[in-house]
Amino acid sequence: MPTMKVESIKKNILNKIGQPSSDLVAREVHTKEKYMEILYINTISDESIIHDKLLTPFFEIEDQQDFLTFLQSHPKILPFKDEQKAIEDLLKGVVIIFYQNFIFTFDSKANLAKVTSGTVVETTVQGPQSGFTESLHTNVGLVRERYPVPELTIESLSIGSISKTDVMLLYDSRFADPDTVKKMIDFLKTVHIQMFQSGEQLLDSITKHNRSFFPTMLVTERPDRSAVNLSTGKLIILVNGSPFAVIAPSVMKDFMSSMEDIYQTYWVGRFLQLLRFVGFNISVVLPGMYVALTAYNPEVFRVQLALSIAGSRTAVPYPAFVEVLLMLFMMELLTEASIRLPKAIGPTATTVGGLILGQAATEAGLVSNIMVIIVSFVAITNFVVPINTFSFTIRVLKYLIWALGTIFGLVGVVLGFLMINAYMVKLDSFGVPYLTLLQSKPKN
């Protein structure tokens, strides 16, 4: 029987890890002669190693003393040093073995890098390049690997009346707001979806609650983004079978930040962020502004500019607002098409559409030169936004401003822009105001 000391160490370790973490495995193994307890986290430990290197010998070596010798002599098994070290090791994929009066640690780290794939959607120039995989198990492991703290809490749920998909909710119990966690769990429990396949569906079902224009949850494929967000008190939802994690509460600032901001020097990062905010505003406002300015208030331009716009529009047979709509529509089709096409053909479609069609349309007098510039500008600025779900929102919003600009002129554009702002002010994501500009800091 283990002594009191060992027993108390075991209790302490369990207490420290004590959060309801569904991937923590504490198991007792018996044979007739021997008794052993092992403790590990199955998402970051390789269970086949444990089986081959630990359990098989355990059952094959009958004698108690012999097994102890085996443990002591095994190169990957080290004797216990202290509790703190044991917990750190545990969080890195080490098995803690309680055998008789001895405690050992057994290195069984899973090599997760082998199974991950590169990022596809949120690519960065620098920094980690690996993305989530389709296995929930591995994904939790990936987060664990980057966020090895005992306070990381993992709750397991299942969503979907038919699919019964496993879902895991991860958060750091030190930083996450308990109210938010409660709200999130309640929300997840009330979601009614038959077939739950991917985290993006949650986005949709939360939008149906609020009819919100803006996503209030962030979908990411990057484990590093998830880990960083955990440290700011956010919740991560991982869904089995989907290589995307959902981060909530997410506010505008999160949608506008790329992981690269952290990997760049301070001023470069700031500059890039400013660039994105400017791009966002231009993308939303520009089409409507063009209509309002050319059709209602050409006096805003300098005379030289007004004349060249008027010149380029002379051959165009329909009003400016139709022209804008036509070109925007064409651009949307192009964007849509190039997403759907296989990667090999994608660039061709863009070239054909963008260059040749634009050029031809201008020559034929269907649209003005300046319009082509504006539409390409809108398209480019749209994709400056790093998170896709958010840039889709912009794609829709610009039509609202376009409509207001067409009907009300300059007043419509300015007030429309302000209304979008007011709407964002009104919105919140699980209790966090949407326009919180400061990065939420870990709360103490």
Question: Applying CB under 8 A, which of residues 422, 431, 441, 442 lies at the interface with another protein?
Answer: 422
Say which residue the tokens 């054909």 belong to. Answer: 352
Question: Applying CB under 8 A, which of residues 6, 406, 429, 430 lies at the interface with another protein?
Answer: 406
Candidates 159-167, 291-299, 326-334, 350-358 — which segment interacts with another protein by CB under 8 A? Answer: 291-299
Candidates 71-79, 80-88, 340-348, 412-420 — which segment interacts with another protein by CB under 8 A? Answer: 412-420
Q: How far is the CB of 329 from another protein (least distance, A)?
A: 19
Interaction of residue 365 with another protein, rule CB under 8 A:
yes
Candidates 54-62, 116-124, 208-216, 253-261 — which segment interacts with another protein by CB under 8 A? Answer: 208-216
CA 146 to chain centre: 15
For CA atoms 110, 115, 118, 121, the dihedral sign is: negative
Under a CB-based contact definition with an 8 Å cutoff, are residues 255 and 437 in contact? Answer: no
Token pair belonging to 384: 């400056």
Q: How far is the CB of 308 from another protein (least distance, A)?
A: 7
Q: How far is the CB of 187 from another protein (least distance, A)?
A: 17
Under a CB-based contact definition with an 8 Å cutoff, are residues 279 and 385 in contact? Answer: yes
For 311, other C-beta atoms within 10 Å of its C-beta total 12
Question: Applying CB under 8 A, which of residues 56, 65, 72, 421 lies at the interface with another protein?
Answer: 421
List the x/- string, 320-339, binding to another protein by CB under 8 A: x-------------------
Distance, CA of 169 to CA of 230 (rounded, Å): 11
Q: How far is the CB of 251 from another protein (least distance, A)?
A: 12
Interaction of residue 208 with another protein, rule CB under 8 A:
no
CB of 54 or CB of 413, closer to another protein: 413
Under a CB-based contact definition with an 8 Å cutoff, are residues 139 and 245 in contact? Answer: yes
CA 392 to chain centre: 15
Please name the residue ranges forming H helices in 159-265. Answer: 178-190, 200-210, 223-231, 252-255, 260-263
**Residues 292-321 within binding reach of another protein (CB under 8 A):** 294-316, 319-320
Interaction of residue 286 with another protein, rule CB under 8 A:
no
CB of 185 or CB of 306, closer to another protein: 306
Distance, CA of 20 to CA of 263 (rounded, Å): 33
Under a CB-based contact definition with an 8 Å cutoff, are residues 324 and 378 in contact? Answer: no
Question: Applying CB under 8 A, which of residues 24, 55, 326, 403 lies at the interface with another protein?
Answer: 403
List the x/- string, 50-79, binding to another protein by CB under 8 A: ------------------------------
Burial class (CB in 10 A: 0-12, 13-18, 19+), 390: buried
Say which residue the tokens 């529509």 belong to. Answer: 329
Interaction of residue 203 with another protein, rule CB under 8 A:
no
| CB contact burial 153-165 (16+ within 10 A = b; e otherwise) | bbbeeebbeeeeb
N-term to C-term CA, the chain: 42
CA 341 to chain centre: 24
How many chain residues are in contact with another protein, going by CB under 8 A?
51
Interaction of residue 360 with another protein, rule CB under 8 A:
no
Q: How far is the CB of 135 from another protein (least distance, A)?
A: 38
Residues in contact with another protein by CB under 8 A are 210-213, 294-316, 319-320, 365, 368, 403-404, 406-412, 414-415, 418-419, 421-423, 425-426, 433, 435
